[in-house]
Structure 1
């Protein structure tokens, strides 16, 4: 395949007019062949890598924690259709045995999808948001299933997923052994701070022990204030820590998004959607982690108390919102939805940029950032 007449997003985070060549499902070097199998006229569109969402729960009526191959396939199909070509869904706080079964199903799905050459989004990881979280900042998680971080249980999760789990979230203030847990597990999986009520000092100790990720910064954690900087301040002071941001226009004020880019630098920020099963569906009542959620527009709240419960916006629309309504440069936003998550997941050799040898996943966007075409493994969807 040859994609002509496009503005190609480069690894230098800039757009350069040119064309893209894909051979055998991967980006290729050199000039286009004289007789390519397919020529796609990009009509001056932006050509960006397929997006990577490393924290979301579901879409189109499906939830990753449904624990079925059908749900994962439905999620993968929808995500690819909107330009998200690789995914690392998040778990909810459920009983340990249920989580093990969900992870086992995901591992089996990945093996089967690879054999079949599925054109839905690639399942490249799992982000464990629970169950090692705090009751105080549980958000839409079910408090009945919260437990303190436990090495034996964590290893069970890793085994059940056949290595698919890439992040395990913890609330370090819940356990006196949290730092030891982080030290012992950090070389097996990325440890993130998630749904935590930790103060600045506790968060700094967790990061010093080896935690290197922050789940949806600002949400489900203490407020960032001038006397009590909390987890946000600790993230700012820990240069090795990457932070997720939900830029759906609901979870974080645009001014705070802009300030965070200035505070952390774009290379440490990962755009996520945190989307739930209502994404891509009509308004109404849905479930998340067994709890009822009411959705109106792009706002999802718990039916019981009105607390924010994930988002109803896919990552492509979050990136678009970051650019058009929050003032983040397109070149920066693209990096935070492609390169940065690929690096966090440890898959940058295969995903995250348009470079020779990487998987031929590419999205064409017009000047209004509307998706005009999605190419997955060199095949137009």
Structure 2
């Protein structure tokens, strides 16, 4: 998305949400790509550099929040990260940035291995330029029984040689990988991923609770011992509830194990809180049970995000979107989402979750997964100037990415 205002000095005054807290009257000042001041109006009045900044007071009811961060995204506006061209990927990234998702991973799906390597190499270029924060690989080491929209023809047990190939093709930009812990070789996979700075993300699994707990504890130990500066110690859970057996009182399965570890603060669970993948009541219940600090809101969006109902692609699969729901044309299985991160936040709040908690789970928590806790996800002095201005209805008024004001997405895409 072409910027409509170059990076420069400016300051905004109004209500701010950051670090899981609401501050009714604050000032955020930006110079170039960085936040240079974050504090209250009194502090700003005595700041020795304040005369260099043009201060704009936002209308009552408006809120400044950090730019949103999506850990699980397969594309938008016709651009399919697992299979699209460079131009299509460029269009998807621009749309997502302008829609308020200022930081995102591009998610692959299980496919022919040569295609996965090809797309990883293509996406790596967008990571090098700073347009993407990295790559997420959803598979191919997943359960046949819980493959969801993943093509079972390409699933396999963990293969260390392919992992090395994928990391190499991604030019070191592979950040997370979804895996099923019941597969032969999963322990070695967890160790291999952590040693390379890739966060294991448990999902698409039919494992019992004990297997899940053991694998996640191992992942946490491996991440802690990997020694990467600022790196997360918590593995993640790929879209909790989706792609796994339901919670049962005599068979807690993956859901029960993940909830217990999330309450302890030992894992971060992804929630696709788009109103389709999870009931709103369940989203509210999960925030009450495990808290925002253990939840990362995600979209799992695919090429139809930002567009009308119709036929689309998700990697090698054909997808039909009807009433905003994306399902495999072949068998009707859910096949990703069509909401943006801001829409997920809006629906999370509509479900009864406090706004400051929803924002934290869409900013600071995913930033911690990516090792960006000192760079993004919060509004602090020295942080990258990624911030949104929302109106009283949580509608998007402005998106700043690296201090640059972006144009709004075209109305025809909304």
Structure 1 and Structure 2 fold alike (TM over 0.5): yes
Is 1:332 aligned with 2:348? no
Matched, 1:217 2:233: no
Distance (whole Å) between structure 2 residues aligned to residue 195 and residue 322 of structure 1: 23
CA distance in 2, matches of 1:309, 1:98: 19
Residue 335 of structure 2 is aligned to residue 309 of structure 1:
yes
Is residue 279 of structure 1 aligned with residue 292 of structure 2? Answer: no
Whether the 8 Å CA contact 2:121–2:171 is kept in 1: the answer is: yes
Q: Which residue of 2 aligns with 1:236?
A: 259
Counterpart CA distance in 1 for 2:333 and 2:192 is: 34
Q: Are residues 1:180 and 2:188 paired?
A: yes
**Distance in 2 (alpha carbons) for counterparts of 1:12 and 1:261:** 13
Which residue of 90, 98, 103 corresponds with 2:115? Answer: 98
Matches within 5 A, 1:158-197: 158-175=167-184, 177-188=185-196, 189-197=198-206
Identify the match of residue 53 of structure 1 among 52, 62, 70: 70
* Aligned-partner Cα distance in 2 for 1:20–1:147: 49
1:78 aligns with 2:103: no
How far did 1:147 drift? 1.2
- State the shift of 1:372 in Å: 0.8
State whether residues 72 and 300 of structure 2, in contact with CA within 8 Å, keep that contact through their aligned partners in structure 1.
yes
The yes-or-no answer on 1:349 pairing with 2:357 is no
Shift of 1:242: 0.8
1:64-112 CA-to-partner distances (Å, cap 9, x unmatched) read: 112533233212110111111011021100122211111111122232x
CA RMSD of aligned residues (A): 1.6
Gapped regions of structure 2 (runs ≥ 5):
1-8, 38-43, 221-234, 407-414
- Cα distance, 1:40 vs structure 2: 4.2
Partners of 1:312 and 1:98 lie apart in 2 by 24
- The Cα offsets for residues 168-216 of structure 1, whole Å up to 9 and x where unpaired, read as 11112121x2223223432321111121111111111211221621100
- Count of equivalent residues: 370
**Whole-angstrom distance in 1 between the partners of 2:281 and 2:70:** 23
1:373 counterpart = 2:373: no
Deviation of 1:35 after TM superposition, in Å, equals 4.0
Q: Which residue of 2 aligns with 1:207?
A: 216
Say if 2:146 and 2:244, in contact at 8 Å, map to a contact too. Answer: yes
TM-score computed with the length of structure 2 as normaliser: 0.86
TM-score of the aligned structures, taking structure 1 as reference length: 0.93
Distance between the aligned counterparts of 1:184 and 1:24, measured in 2? 39
SS in 1 for 2:378: coil
SS of residue matched to 2:13? strand
Instruction: State which drifts further: 192-201 or 326-335.
Output: 192-201
Distance in 2, matches of 1:34 and 1:318, equals: 38
Q: CA deviation at 1:2?
A: 2.5
Within 1, Cα distance between the matches of 2:80 and 2:57? Answer: 36
- Partner in structure 1 of residue 3 of structure 2: none
Tell me the equivalent position of 2:22. Answer: 14
Which of residues 146, 164, 173 is equivalent to 1:137?
A: 146
1:299 & 1:109 partners in 2: Cα distance?
A: 28
2:272 aligns with 246
Write out per-residue CA displacement over residues 118-163 of structure 1, whole angstroms, 9 at most, x where no aligned residue.
xxxx311111111111111111111111111122211221121122
CA shift, 1:339, in A, is 0.3
Deviation at 1:12, TM superposition (A): 5.0
Q: Distance in 1 between matches of 2:368 and 2:201?
A: 15
Structure 2 counterpart SS, 1:99: helix
CA apart distance, 1:264: 2.0
The residue that corresponds to 1:227 in the other structure is 250
- The match for 1:107 is 124
Q: Equivalents in 2 of 1:61, 1:41: separation in Å?
A: 37
